Structure 1
Amino acid sequence: MRNSGLGSWPHRRARMAPKREALTYDGVSTSYEEVAVRTTRLAWRLRELGVRHGDRVAYLGPNHPSFAETLFATHQLGAIFVPLNFRLTPAEINYQLADCGAHVLVHAPSHVVEHPRAVSLATYEDWLLGGSDEPLDEPVGIDDAALILYTSGTTGRPKGAILSHANLLWNTFNLMIGVDIASDEVALITAPLFHVAALTQTLLPTFIKGGHSVIASHWDVTECVSLIENHGVTWMFGVSTMYADLASSSLWQTADLSSLRVLLCGGAAVPDAVIHTYQDRGLVFCQGYGLTETAPGATFLEASDSVRRAGSAGPCVFFGDLRLADTGEIEVQGPNVTPGYWNDPVATRAAFTEDGWFRTGDLGRLDDGHLYVLDRLKDMYISGGENVYPAEVENAITSHPDVAEVAVVGVPDQRWGEVGRAFVRPRDGAVVDAAGLREFLLPRLAKYKIPVHVEVVSELPRTGSGKVLKPALRRLPL
């Protein structure tokens, strides 16, 4: 094949295991042979709409098999796939469509955006039938751009991080080295596929091995448990909040989770209490660290170290390197690292050191080669001349038995310069008292680290990838 990129994967896998289940959604399964046929038909239909090598094809909607089909079809043509965050406002989506210059938009009927070449999933199946089954073999190089993934936009306008086919392939290799993925793997995909980890840490590694991906449109604890039990799910990826929700639900004690071999977690530092809750049940809980710009795996904690090194994000991935700057900022280098940002040479230059290492903006420490993520560089605040890392404070607060989740930010203070403000979400049916929480923290944290302000909330504002929007919390009046 002249296509060295992801667009060739359905055909390569179909010739090895054509009848094996590839994707399941809403009780309907699709074999690898069927995925290969459907993506070829879709590639021809996109070609009829004028899509050529280097053009951008955007996708907008909740998790669905058509997401994977559109990705592979786009890559058959050597075009660039742009998954959009369906939780954004129309204005935000329109900005990203304009910024990337999307030639075609494939979208769920629940998300209607004005675009001259829009394909709705409401008519997708009938439209797909008109595509040719004739094989396509466009020349696609391994270093060609494959994805534009917009950063979560926690500060200013989001930037479009470019990931090449090589970035995605090396990340897949790194993940497969860290996790012994088998061809009979059953992956549960409930995190949004527009988020880099759900796509590249779960779907793509499972697909290349010929495993079975069970896709859910959204995260729901009850559905998650049902899918694990009914399909014998062996592994899944989630963010800390998802795992905390499952562990605090009424189903936790009775759910049959015996098929689960490994749980991957990333997106933010994971509280020790959440990790130990799963380990106490005999489940292997492995944390990793990375960013959209690193495709995303930069470090990974393997199963053999998951108990002894609980709380660590693990050592650097096999094909990659990591170092700490004098400031403590984590810097990454390797074949999985983005070549830069779409149409933004200024941001690209600012993201790299003079000797070519990617600046993550995160603070960390290394212990015997294992990374412990302290916080975002911009989230650290200084109280009375002392550095305070919110992640450390959050970790202590979530060890309280009545706390499900917390976010801590620094806010101005006339005496100390800055002090902590904690937004606490209690467990279902629990009550959290601010004074009692501070008393709980006294033996666990230095006094200057204990938040002065404690507020109990029912939910926390989030980005599409599940991260807490701390800028939004900082803007709230005291």
Structure 2
Amino acid sequence: MRLEPLDADDPRDVLRALRAALNGSGPALGLGMTTAASREVAPGTAVVVTTSGSTGVPKSVVLGRSALTSSALATADRIGEGAWLLALPAGYVAGLQVLVRSLVAGREPALLSGSFTPQAFAAAALMMASSEHGERIPAFTSLVPAQLVRLLDAAEEDATVRTALRSFAAILIGGQALPAATLERARDAGARIVRTYGSTETCGGCVYDGVPLDGVGLRISDGEVQLSGPTLADGYLGDAELTDRVFVRDVAGTRWYRTGDAGIVEDGVLRVHGRIDNVIVSGGINVSLDRVERLVRGVPGLESAVVVGVEDARWGEASVIVAPRGPALRRSEAEQLDEARAAVAEGIGPHARPSRLVLVDELAALPSGKPDRESIRRAVSALH
């Protein structure tokens, strides 16, 4: 079948093309592709999502109709059915799945017009209120942590934003780990948060609050989180070698996706510790930047911080904290760094302590809303 690239700037265009791709009446949809030329893909393909992620290496993930709809149905089984608000880019899997869930449920999604702001989000959310047979239709949305933080900040002064946050039956949060302090703030504000884990290769989130959706398999192999089930992508377009390396079969023939994430399962709940390869060697000792980042985010004022590794003349490599400037605190920048270094020393060891704290007006972000870690790392390296 034919694959037709589409500019995802207008979610209405994506919705129309997606409807045809899912019911088989139109070509497969190519999102994020650098070429406008159409090409052939395997029958059953609905969408090919091309994204560079935070590593800067492009990959085109082939998502079948059955995988996308299986994901949408499993989500409905877990959190319920209702109406969805799209507040994420439609060209990325989390936004795409909001549209898929809407189509599978037979409802038109609410679309956030223009750029994301707390006020625009609140206006769109409060316009969704509707009922059916005398009962209110539950509302759902999907956000990344940075959006949630903006909403929580605004909700402290804006009652309309606060009401909007409370209006959703569930708010899915994915894309990156949600700091515990942010989760607590959200719950205190009355927002019903569901933390999701997954990737484009799993049609988005497929583990909710640490528990896999129905039909999704989960295992830890050599410390790596691996996933199976009907939501898996078919592979990578035009890259059989990468497909075979990332999607593997066990002796029983079950197909597993190697996430590249380190994690453990405790009492049936998945706990992800970060990327297996997000490690620097500082003074001859391996340091997981993800572990450092989790501890740093526990420091007041650094809840949204990103930790990156840069070259260091003394240690070879060192970690640097990069955080957006927040409200004025009663601690200096040096005191914040000291507190972060102390938390890391206690949680990991003195060898893992960050070398610096860099405050910025705004963290560089990918269109998906995730921090652009490579861009942030390059900017920090250029400060030397």
Q: TM-score, normalised by structure 2?
A: 0.85
Residue 357 of structure 1 aligns to a residue whose secondary structure is strand
After TM superposition, list the pairs within 5 Å mapping 1:399-418 onto structure 2: 399-403=298-302, 405-418=304-317
2:217 alignment partner AA = D
Assess, with a 3 A threshold, how the Cα gap between structure 1 residues 156 and 229 changes in structure 2: closer, same or farther: closer
Distance in 1 (alpha carbons) for counterparts of 2:142 and 2:155: 21
Identity of aligned residues (%): 26
| Structure 2 counterpart of 1:344, from 232, 239, 244 | 239
Assess, with a 3 A threshold, how the Cα gap between structure 1 residues 432 and 381 changes in structure 2: closer, same or farther: farther
Q: Which position in structure 1 is the counterpart of 2:191?
A: 283
Q: Is the 8 A contact 1:405 1:426 kept in 2?
A: no
Q: Is the 8 A contact 2:73 2:104 kept in 1?
A: no
Q: Which position in structure 1 is the counterpart of 2:134?
A: none
Q: Which position in structure 2 is the counterpart of 1:72?
A: 19
Residue 163 of structure 2 aligns to a residue whose secondary structure is coil
Q: Is the 8 A contact 1:404 1:425 kept in 2?
A: no
Which of the pair has more CA radius of gyration?
Answer: 1
1:67 alignment partner AA = V
Q: Which position in structure 2 is the counterpart of 1:176?
A: 76
Q: How many residues matched? A: 360
Assess, with a 3 A threshold, how the Cα gap between structure 1 residues 226 and 318 changes in structure 2: closer, same or farther: same
**Does the alignment pair 1:220 with 2:220?**
no
Distance in 1 (alpha carbons) for counterparts of 2:297 and 2:54: 23
Q: Is the 8 A contact 2:19 2:103 kept in 1?
A: no
Query: Which runs of no fewer than 5 residues in structure 2 stay unpaired?
Result: 130-137
Residue 359 of structure 1 aligns to a residue whose secondary structure is strand
Residue 319 of structure 1 aligns to a residue whose secondary structure is coil
Distance in 1 (alpha carbons) for counterparts of 2:340 and 2:272: 21
Query: Which runs of no fewer than 5 residues in structure 1 stay unpaired?
Result: 1-53, 85-92, 104-140, 302-313
Residue 463 of structure 1 aligns to a residue whose secondary structure is coil
Q: Which position in structure 2 is the counterpart of 1:120?
A: none
Runs of 4+ off more than 4 Å: 250-253, 384-387, 428-432
Which one has a larger percent strand, Structure 1 or Structure 2? 2
Assess, with a 3 A threshold, how the Cα gap between structure 1 residues 206 and 223 changes in structure 2: closer, same or farther: same
**Does the alignment pair 1:366 with 2:272?**
no
How far the C-alpha of 1:423 sits from its partner, in A, is 0.7
Q: Is the 8 A contact 1:244 1:404 kept in 2?
A: no
Deviation readout 1:89-134 (Å, 9 max, x if unpaired): xxxx5x3435x6499xxxxxxxxxxxxxxxxxxxxxxxxxxxxxxx
Q: Which position in structure 2 is the counterpart of 1:449?
A: 352
Deviation readout 1:106-163 (Å, 9 max, x if unpaired): xxxxxxxxxxxxxxxxxxxxxxxxxxxxxxxxxxx9x711110113343354111101
Distance in 1 (alpha carbons) for counterparts of 2:169 and 2:358: 38
Q: Which position in structure 1 is the counterpart of 2:180?
A: 272
**Does the alignment pair 1:193 with 2:90?**
yes
Deviation readout 1:17-73 (Å, 9 max, x if unpaired): xxxxxxxxxxxxxxxxxxxxxxxxxxxxxxxxxxxxx11122214243232112223
1:263 alignment partner AA = I
Q: Which position in structure 1 is the counterpart of 2:208?
A: 300
RMSD value, Cα: 2.6
Distance in 1 (alpha carbons) for counterparts of 2:14 and 2:377: 35
Residue 69 of structure 1 aligns to a residue whose secondary structure is helix
Q: Which position in structure 2 is the counterpart of 1:330?
A: 225
Moved more, 223-232 or 429-438: 429-438
Distance in 2 (alpha carbons) for counterparts of 1:250 and 1:458: 21
1:473 alignment partner AA = I
After TM superposition, list the pairs within 5 Å mapping 1:40-55 onto structure 2: 54-55=1-2
Q: Is the 8 A contact 2:309 2:377 kept in 1?
A: yes
Q: Is the 8 A contact 1:246 1:252 kept in 2?
A: no
Residue 350 of structure 1 aligns to a residue whose secondary structure is helix
Residue 231 of structure 1 aligns to a residue whose secondary structure is coil
How far the C-alpha of 1:220 sits from its partner, in A, is 1.6
After TM superposition, list the pairs within 5 Å mapping 1:428-439 onto structure 2: 428=327, 433-439=332-338
Q: Which position in structure 2 is the counterpart of 1:237?
A: 142
Assess, with a 3 A threshold, how the Cα gap between structure 1 residues 81 and 267 changes in structure 2: closer, same or farther: same
